[in-house]
Amino acid sequence: MNIYFIRHGESQFNKEGKLQGQMDPPLSDKGEETASSLARDMKETFVSSGREINAIYSSPLKRAKETADAISGATGAPVRMAPNLQEIRLGDWEGRKISNIAKTPQFIQWRKNPQSITPPGGEEIKNFQDRAVTGIKKIIEDNSQNDNIIVVTHGGVIGALISYALKEDISNSMKRVPDNLSITSMEIDGAGEWKIASDLK
């Protein structure tokens, strides 16, 4: 099985420099345009190689769902919701300008070692990773070994899943967060092992 993880397009909060977590801003105008462009490119890539996109899974948050809908519109593959693939909950930090909290001791510590501190009212990092892994395992169970699956989700989710696949410390996931609309591909072999095929920034 091949799973292609795509971080959603630029959201309104991305544009404004705000932390999102599980707040639900839509794509920005730029995000909509670039998501549509990516969708056309993916259709061309899969058609030219004779491959089929068997399903698209999406976080239910708007910025991911709108990106997934663009890919679905171009490729014809159905979109299914994957609630476990929502972004990490950042509690009191959600909706705040990153520039306003970037130098606070709590935020600096969380970025450096997220296992040592949890955002006020937020989600503990290991629980978040476990949730995301559970979501992907369900997708693997529900599909066939030879399928090509697209998963549209969030930077934190993808970073946590890459760290899990590489069997590295969860703290490294902060370094693994991809850019908007980056594609990270993962192969799932017959034994259920996860292998990162590419980590494209």
CATH of domain 2-199: 3.40.50.1240
Residue 198 is predicted with a pLDDT of: 66
The catalytic position among 10, 66, 87, 123 is 87
Examine the residue annotation and report whether 87 is marked as an active-site residue of this protein.
yes
Q: Which of 52, 170, 27 is nearest to 162 (CA)?
A: 170
Residue 146 is predicted with a pLDDT of: 93
The catalytic position among 8, 10, 123, 154 is 8
50: alpha, beta or left? (left if phi > 0; alpha if psi -120 to 50): left
- Helices 125-142 and 155-165 pack at an angle, to 10 degrees, of 80
Block means of pLDDT (10 residues each) for the chain, 201 residues, are 97 98 98 98 90 96 98 96 98 98 96 95 97 98 96 97 94 93 94 78 35
pTM score: 0.95
Residue 201 is predicted with a pLDDT of: 35
181 neighbors 7 (Cβ within 8 angstroms): yes
Residue 200 is predicted with a pLDDT of: 40
Residue 199 is predicted with a pLDDT of: 47
Residue 48 is predicted with a pLDDT of: 84
Q: Domain map of the chain by residue range? A: 2-199
